[in-house]
Structure 1
């Protein structure tokens, strides 16, 4: 409780009292790291973001692998930092992967032609997708998992050709990632090859453990709409038409959790930014509690059941949030629902037995119910784990009989 009160007291200072001139200081959101790839026979650059709470901590995090990392790293890191800070998703490590030749890296076949069938010099290096995925699976992932505290949850995010790579992984390596985000993917590639492969794979394989968010930009000619475009055969409208056809395949998929969203106000270049946010909100839509903390119907069983569901969503154990449970305990204590307060404080101690502040909270409970002996025991235990002035003051007050 002391941490919560301290933050309330300091908040106005942080917000309004910083008037003194401060020296310039860099704002750092991540690091660039060079990894030599034996598979690709070249050095590759990774952009890595680690949550603030992960600096030197033992907390483990799910990992997002972000294609075209140099283009989307900053916007994605900011989005993840903000949304997780609101308690709507877990904090995540983000690994942005640069591609010096994205045509080579992000295409599954050699196909030097545009969607129209016209030859394309810009696509002559295409077809290195299999090597790139081997690099990601066998070199990047082990490198990240060795250096950082990671959970088994992995997300793959890509735009355009990167979105095509995401769908390739979903179809051919579905267990490599837990969730997939395809943003306006280039499904026209090689005569819509991925559409044919997905039609077979998504209806035959069991995708009960995977999820997909699929974003579609408005690349249609002016005056065209999403109803008439399905029957339209002009080349200028083929992207949206193909995406609508892919949605029909998704509807026939076997147990895949998916969402498909069309962005009528965004083109191919602008759609990644809103799609990033929407993808995270969809994939973690059941992560946050669906009740306000002051809701009197919240019980310990409700909290336990919610976090069992979160654990199932992330596919690893997630303990009830310590701060949330402690707040619930103090809310119950302030409303003189003592048995409920005790149950919340007890749950926290069961899950986090080495945190001194939680024994301090239990001590506050015992003070409230008039059990001086147990309150002193709780404060002493808290101090044995962490010396805190406020806890020491409360213990001395009890010992003096005040």
Structure 2
């Protein structure tokens, strides 16, 4: 009896498990694409995420993030970008994660088979392939992405550890390649602090207008050490933070470069990428979102236009006002019976996005509110010619029936 009861108790769970297996659908956040690199003479794999708003025939274009060690950081970065862009805190982005093969070879600018301590390291014997890797990035990966996707001119390079070193090296030596750079706990120690010496010469002299850097430093100091005393300390265990602080002093002397440096006292070298990803994106796009609540009665069409002019200047390409934001402003004004203001918002949206059926539907709602039945039906018909939506069809039929 107990055995039968036990089986009966398990039966719903077992059935549910089987049903769940039958109904499971994979959640896809990107694609893996492999192509042969003539420069590196090997096959290379890219992890590619395309924003949800992209559809066939869409004219939307997107900035692109190039993410080093893509296999390690692609999932967390896609989640962060997708979430922040959905909140309107940053633009949607195409993310290209570059899967590593020999990261020591690819992410080091010079051959130097020695650790920071000066001890020889067999693990570093393939180092020095950085110039080839950057050529691969510039001449093969970028054209590959830009011919297959609708990209904007804004490019971001993100790297951690040796990848952070690569980001700094690109900023100092090839600044035209990217608009913004993220160096997460970079290996400034490499080749007797070569990147620090190069930056000390280049950054105060070269104009870096329009370029931005976010530099994250993990807490890898010995216990009892702090960021004040570490600068004068010569202990090998504290060299990462010491080198980062020295690089910060160089950044303070840079010309026109927009930069931020942040120390993470609660994170080590392995855990710092996750919070640093978020902080870097918030830094670069800190003025992307509106600085007023949508219910603020002082928001006007001119305010929206001026804000997006500033956003366009920040991103260095034309950015249209977000259709969802403007549509919300139109309905808020409609609800307050500010009909002239509502019309201005709906009209601006249609001027910017004339082929979006939902925006014609919204204009139809406006005409219904002011009692212009003829124009409302015209707007609903236009919306349906672009996209068949049951709710819009219902509204049109009610108007045609005289209800």
* TM-score normalised over the length of structure 1: 0.92
Q: What per-residue deviation string (whole Å, max 9, x for no partner) do you get for residues 129-162 of structure 1?
A: 0000000100011111112221111110000111
Equivalent position of 1:6 in the other structure = none
Does 77-86 or 366-375 show the bigger shift? Answer: 366-375
What is the root-mean-square deviation of aligned Cα atoms in Å? 1.7
Superposed displacement of residue 374, structure 1: 2.7
Superposed displacement of residue 21, structure 1: 8.3
Unaligned runs of 5+ in 2: 1-18
SS at match of 1:82: helix
Superposed displacement of residue 20, structure 1: 8.4
Query: Structure 1: how far apart are the matches of 2:393 and 2:124?
Result: 70
Equivalent position of 1:12 in the other structure = none
Superposed displacement of residue 397, structure 1: 3.3
Q: What per-residue deviation string (whole Å, max 9, x for no partner) do you get for residues 303-325 of structure 1?
A: 11111111112211111111111
Equivalent position of 1:332 in the other structure = 333
Equivalent position of 2:90 in the other structure = 89
SS at match of 1:32: strand
Relative to 1, partners in 2 of residues 1:327 and 1:159: Cα closer, same or farther, differing over 3 Å? same
Does 356-365 or 227-236 show the bigger shift? Answer: 356-365
Query: Structure 2: how far apart are the matches of 1:71 and 1:385?
Result: 41
Query: Structure 2: how far apart are the matches of 1:186 and 1:392?
Result: 60
Superposed displacement of residue 39, structure 1: 0.7
Q: Does 1:378 align with 2:379?
A: yes
Q: Does 1:265 align with 2:266?
A: yes
Query: Structure 2: how far apart are the matches of 1:265 and 1:249?
Result: 25
Query: Structure 1: how far apart are the matches of 2:257 and 2:355?
Result: 40
Q: Which residues of 2 match residues 309-388 of structure 1 at below 5 A?
A: 309-388=310-389
Unaligned runs of 5+ in 1: 1-18
Query: Structure 2: how far apart are the matches of 1:22 and 1:229?
Result: 58
* TM-score normalised over the length of structure 2: 0.91
Relative to 1, partners in 2 of residues 1:373 and 1:33: Cα closer, same or farther, differing over 3 Å? closer
Equivalent position of 1:67 in the other structure = 68
Query: Structure 2: how far apart are the matches of 1:210 and 1:351?
Result: 29
Equivalent position of 1:213 in the other structure = 214
Relative to 1, partners in 2 of residues 1:393 and 1:70: Cα closer, same or farther, differing over 3 Å? closer
Equivalent position of 1:393 in the other structure = 394
Equivalent position of 1:51 in the other structure = 51
Equivalent position of 2:228 in the other structure = 227
Q: Does 1:256 align with 2:257?
A: yes
Equivalent position of 1:188 in the other structure = 189
Q: Does 1:152 align with 2:118?
A: no
Query: Structure 1: how far apart are the matches of 2:48 and 2:389?
Result: 35
Query: Structure 1: how far apart are the matches of 2:185 and 2:389?
Result: 53
